[in-house]
Amino acid sequence: MTLLRPGSGPWLLHHELRLAWRRLGGVHSRIWAGLGLLVWLAFHGVPYLLLRMAGSEIVAPGLSLVLGAALWFVFALMLSHAITLAVDVLFDRGDLDLLLASPIAPATVFLVRGLGVAIACVTLYAVLLTPFAHAGLATGHLRLLAIYPALAAMALLAAASGMALTLLLVRGLGARRARTAAQLLGAFVGAGFFLAAQAGSVFGDERVASWIAAVRHASEGSVAAQATGLVRLPFAAMVGELPALAVLVLAGFGAFALVVAATGRHFLAGTQESVTDAALAAEPGGPVAPFRSGLWRVVLVKEWKLIRRDPQLIGQTLLPVLYLLPMIFIWGRQSQGNPVFVPAVVLAATTLASGLAWVTVAAEDAPELVAAAPVALEQVRRIKLAAALLPVWFLVAPLLVHLALGDARVAFVFAVCVLGSTISVGLVHLEVSKPGDRRKMRRRGSGNWLGGVLEGAVALSWAALAWCLLAAPLFAPVAAAAAFAAPLAAMLIGRSRRGRASPP
Amino acid sequence: MAEPLSLSILVPALEIVGLVKRFDSSTAVDGIDLVIPQGELHALLGPNGAGKTTLLRIVAGLIRADAGRVAVLGHDVGSHPIDAKRVLAFLPDDPLVYDKLDAVEYLEFVAGLWGLDAAVAAKRAEGLLRWLELWPKARQRAEGYSRGMKQKLALAGALIHEPRVLILDEPLTGLDVAAARQVKDLLIDRVKRGGTVILTTHILEMAERLAERISLIRAGRIVAQGSLDELRAKAAAGSGGTLEEVFLQLTATPS
């Protein structure tokens, strides 16, 4: 236990991991961990069989390029995760004051923070890749043990890049806006690689194949050879090619050390405070605009203003849509008749409407004020719902025009399904949403599983209906029944709850 | 603490010389000099944005000053930050307690940060939690605590290593009457036993009743300092003037 001496680095890291663990799961986390461990042990069989079949040459030379590219994709996902985590551990968690005020060297504090980020973003991939190292041990491919240092280096590089990007954003935008920007950046990194992976469908398979051939052909040239070397670098490192491993380990550990040191300096200089200060100071005085009246107008204006002034909220609402964008983009470029395009947009519009409806209907900041006002609460809630749905309809309107110019039938299905699904998901929020805090947008699902299930049912059934109407009309009645069942269920549940809440 | 008492008592609890901290757009601390002897309860008063919190954060080693020198019990915060932090506790105005830790685990963690012996820490933790009436809920995670309970737990964290210098930023925010009274009694008790307490407060009555000396801060500078009587004399508010009148007069922006 000398390793965990209070105040030491390992002790602090233990604290960090304990917090991460508790945030992850509730009461059942131990059971899940046990199950996960069993699955992981069983998974060792796959690499064992693969390696038994492979000879001394583990993979064909051509395949190493593909696997290298796949590992770069893994790195992009790690980076995306690391950015989100860095925002959390450097700004959101708020315990840095306590740690920095204690007699522990700030360098240790930030070193542990960085390690925490690295460990969190590598865990999943370590679970998937370390069995190859262990199987290598059993089958005589000892060089595969290089997976351990190579993965560690990749994780450190991701953590370092994520923390550096976050700090740069904070310096440029201020702590509050940087959080949103970092989340969006993280999502874009992930979505960007997805888009790149879909290059075949965007540009046509033949053209991409010809590029690859061109690269292969040119790889006798030195520049292209370097590019090829870079692409296969992570793979080469993992199969124990010493130069590649050395480069990766040096880059990972070096970048990590530099960024950890820079982070400490940045915090002690009080940079984040100065930026936050400046943002607060910029509050220009001016003549008061004339007041508005009319319930519809004041409620709509209030909701839209609050959403517009909360970039974090916008970011979190748009995040799920962002993941759908590449698909919409890809299928939209293909022929008008692609039956997946309309359902995908319906799904995206429903997700967006659901997020916004939760914000306006459930996450009222001053529920007592609204309830105490001499207006019908139901009417206010309906206006709030309109405040959520109108922007979504406004956003998809150009798509409707685009579709109508091509095929009126597709446009009609699109309009009906978008209207139906957004209104349905709004109804679900009106009836079963629980009051929430808009700062906790990301965790809005917890404690209201029924609402979550109904939201999901609405989104999927309306998307399915759109697909059936366009591609398989025979099944449309089934999908339509499901599409109407979810909001109907929400209304019945809401009615019975209200009946119980207020006896006559 | 091995040094003889007669000598160590001469070292001021806090010594600040020519302290300056600039942010991009503004100067938060603009040349502050301040000496607080051991065993004093000193209040920093000033309007919002006067630089009080920045000053305390520099003393606690959370940010680095651009110029000047800060020493806590003779330990230079700039060159020997670890020694300075060891004798110091800083309680921010909105302190963090981990939602996913219970009260005992939180105190165990804080005690560990200050390198306290585990057996001593456990005993003190129980004493503090009982005294602050948190003991019945000591094994519940802090996510279920009220604001006041979290505040009390953070206070217990600040006290567990028995700091010789205690710095509190708005210590009574969110506390009920009984808890506020407990905290006030505690502060007086610590000062009686030779400890030093430095606090910022908006509750003028508290500064008036408790503080031996008061520093009035405006725009990053100390504009007046002394006992309440001395401040009254300076403001010429007459002998019956309350601290509120003195405060408003001395911190008013010259028009």
3-state secondary structure A4-63: HCCCCHHHHHHHHHHHHHHHHCCCCHHHHHHHHHHHHHHHCHHHHHHHHHCCCCCCCHHH
Residues B26 and B119 reside in one and the same domain: no
Which residues does residue A420 pair with via DSSP β-bridges, in sequence order?
none
Contact B217, B46 (CB under 8 A): yes
Clarify whether residues B121 and B77 are in a common domain: no
Task: Look at residue A279 and tell me whether its pLDDT is greater than 50.
Answer: no
Other C-beta atoms closer than 10 Å to the C-beta of A225 total: 12
B96 located within any domain: no
Are A43 and A35 within 8 A, CB to CB?
no
Q: Do A98 and B112 touch (CB under 8 A)?
A: no
**Whether the Cβ atoms of residue B207 and residue B214 lie closer than 8 Å to each other:** yes
Q: Which SS3 state, helix, strand or coil, does residue B73 take?
A: coil
Q: For A200-224, what is the mean pLDDT?
A: 60
Q: Are residues B83 and B109 in the same domain?
A: no
Question: Is the pLDDT at A159 greater than 80, yes or no?
Answer: yes
- The token pair at B85 is 């932090």
* One domain for residues B174 and B230: yes
B95 occurs within a structural domain: no
Which candidate, B158, B87, B128, places its Cα nearest to that of A98?
Answer: B158
- Length, in residues, of chain B: 255
Q: Within A291-375, where are the H helices?
A: 295-308, 311-333, 341-357, 367-372
Answer yes or no: do B34 and B143 share one domain.
Answer: no
Query: How confident is the prediction for chain A on average, in pLDDT?
Result: 80
Residue in B25, B61, B116 closest to A101 by CB: B61
Give CA–CA dist A351/A346, Å, rounded.
Answer: 9
Q: How far, in whole angstroms, is CA A18 from its chain's centroid?
A: 23
Q: Is the dihedral of CA B23, B29, B31, B37 positive or negative?
A: negative
- B-side interface with A, Cβ within 8 Å? 21, 23-26, 28, 54, 57, 60-64, 81-83, 85-86, 88-90, 92, 95-96, 98, 100-101, 109-116, 118, 157
pLDDT of residue A361: 87
Token pair for residue B181?
């009274």
Interatomic CA distance for residues A160 and A157, integer angstroms = 5
Residue among A95, A103, A268 minimizing CB distance to B64: A268
How many structural domains are present in chain B? 2
Residues B176 and B224 reside in one and the same domain = yes
Distance to chain A for B114, nearest Cα, Å = 6
Domain that holds residue B147: 101-156
pLDDT in tens, A181-198: 776 777 677 666 666 665
Residue A356 pLDDT > 50: yes
**A273: contact with B, CB 8 A cutoff:** yes
**Does the CB of A93 have a partner CB in chain B at under 8 Å?**
yes
Q: Which of B26, B63, B95 sits opposite A270 (nearest CB)?
A: B63
How is residue A409 written in tokens?
């039938």
Nearest CA in chain B to A17: B100
Residues of B in contact with A94 (CB under 8 A): 96
Please give the residue that has the higher pLDDT: either A482 or A332: A482
- Which residue from B26, B62, B96 is facing A95, i.e. has the nearest CB? B96
| Domain range list for chain A | 44-276, 295-498
Q: Return the minimum-mean-pLDDT range out of A40-54, A127-141, A333-347.
A: A333-347
Instruction: Give tens-digit pLDDT for A245-258.
Output: 999 999 999 999 99
Contacts of B16 (CB under 8 A, 6+ apart): B32, B33, B34, B35, B55, B59, B68, B69, B70
Q: Residue A59: CB partners within 8 Å, gap ≥ 6?
A: A67, A239
CA distance A364 to chain B (A): 21
Burial class (CB within 10 angstroms; exposed 0-12, middle 13-18, buried 19+) of A9: middle
Lookup: tokens for A126 = 């370590």
End-to-end CA distance of chain A: 65
Q: Return d(Cα A138, Cα A129) in angstroms, integer.
A: 15
Nearest CA in chain A to B106: A15
CB contact under 8 A, A6 and B116: yes
pLDDT by residue, tens only, chain B of 255 residues? 444 444 566 899 999 999 999 887 788 999 999 999 999 999 998 888 888 989 998 999 888 899 999 999 999 998 998 899 999 999 988 887 888 888 998 998 888 888 888 889 999 999 999 998 899 999 888 888 988 889 889 999 999 999 999 999 888 877 888 888 888 888 998 899 889 999 988 777 778 888 889 998 988 999 889 888 888 777 765 555 677 777 777 777 654
pLDDT at A19: 85
Tokens matching residue B33:
């000099």
Using CA atoms, how far apart are residues A67 and A58, in angstroms rounded to an integer? Answer: 12
Where helices occur in chain B by DSSP H, the ranges are 5-8, 52-59, 81-86, 103-113, 118-131, 147-159, 177-192, 204-210, 228-235, 243-251
| Local structure of residue A287 (DSSP, 8 states) | P
Strand partners, B70: B16
Question: B131 and B227 in one domain?
Answer: no
- Would residue B44 count as lying in a domain? yes
Minimal C-alpha gap between B233 and chain A (Å):
35
Q: Give a yes or no: residue B110 inside a domain.
A: yes
Please tell me the predicted confidence (pLDDT) of residue A481: 92
- Residue A415 pLDDT > 90: yes
* pLDDT for res B1: 44
Answer yes or no: do B139 and B167 share one domain.
no
Amino acid at A480: A
> B7: exposed, middle or buried (C-beta count within 10 Å: 0-12, 13-18, 19+)?
exposed
* The B75-76 sheet, strands edge to edge: B27-36, B14-22, B67-72, B75-76
The answer to whether residue B94 is domain-embedded is no
- Cβ burial of A443 (10 Å; 0-12, 13-18, 19+) is exposed
Cβ-based neighbour number of residue A217 at 10 Å: 10
Please name the residues in contact with A111: beta carbons below 8 A apart, sequence gap of 6 or more: A9, A260
Nearest residue of chain A to residue B158 (CA atoms): A98
Q: Which candidate in B27, B55, B62, B102 is best for mutational testing of the A interface (most A CBs within 10 A)? A: B62
Alpha-carbon distance values, B49 to A96, A419, B52, B206, B220 (Å): 22, 50, 7, 20, 9
The shortest CB-CB distance from B112 to any of A6, A275, A277 is to: A6
* Window A:94-153, CB contacts with B under 8 Å: 94-95, 97-106
Q: Name the DSSP letter for residue B31.
A: E
> How far, rounded to the nearest angstrom, does the alpha carbon of residue A17 sit from its chain's CA centroid?
21
How many alpha carbons lie under 13 Å from residue A212 in its C-beta half-sphere? 14
Q: Do A6 and B25 touch (CB under 8 A)?
A: no
CA dist., res. A102 & res. B89, Å (int): 8
Gap between the Cα atoms of B13 and A190, Å rounded: 53
Q: Is residue B23 part of a domain?
A: yes
Share of chain A above pLDDT 70, in %: 76
**Domain final residue pick, B156, B177, B200:** B156
- In angstroms, the CA A209 to CA A154 distance is 29
* Exposure on the CB side of residue B55, measured as CA atoms within 13 A: 34
Let me know how long chain A is. 504
What pLDDT does residue A278 have?
40
3-state secondary structure of B134: coil
List CB contacts (< 8 A) between A281 and chain B. 25-26
CB distance B115–A268 less than 8 Å?
Answer: no
For B31-43, b where at least 16 C-beta lie within 10 A, e where not — what string? ebebebbbbbbbb
pLDDT (tens digit, 9 = 90+) per residue, A294-323?
788 888 888 888 887 776 677 677 766 776
| Contact criterion met (CB < 8 Å) for B25 and A281 | yes
Estimate the share of chain A in helix, then strand, then coil, as percent rounded to the nearest 5. 85, 0, 15
Show Cβ contacts of residue A406 under 8 Å, excluding neighbours closer than 6 positions.
A336
Q: Would the pLDDT of A175 be above 80? A: no
For residue B220, tell me if it sits in a domain. yes
Q: What is the reported pLDDT for A221?
A: 57
What pLDDT was estimated at residue B231?
82
Q: Kindly indicate the confidence band of residue A282, based on its pLDDT and cuts at 50, 70 and 90.
A: very low
CB contact under 8 A, A274 and B95: no
Chain position carrying tokens 């006290």: B159
Distance CA(A238)–CA(A252), nearest Å, equals 14
Per-residue pLDDT reduced to its tens digit, A430-459: 888 877 777 666 666 666 778 888 888 999
Q: The tokens of B83 are what? A: 């020694």
pLDDT, greater one: A30 or A142: A142
In chain B, DSSP finds a helix count (H) and a strand count (E) of 10, 10
pLDDT at A198: 59
- Mean residue pLDDT of chain B comes to 85
How many Å lie between the alpha carbon of B177 and the closest alpha carbon of chain A?
Answer: 26
Which chain B residues touch A102 with a CB distance below 8 Å?
Answer: 85, 110, 113-114
Q: Tell if the CB–CB gap between A274 and B23 is shorter than 8 Å.
A: yes
Q: Is residue B194 in a domain?
A: yes
Say which residue the tokens 């490192």 belong to. Answer: A237
Alpha carbon A115 to its chain centroid, in Å, reads 21
In this complex, do B63 and A273 lie within 8 Å of one another by their Cβ atoms? yes
Q: Which residues pair with B225 in a beta bridge?
A: B215
CA distance A406 to A187: 32
**What is the domain-level CATH number for residue B62?**
3.40.50.300
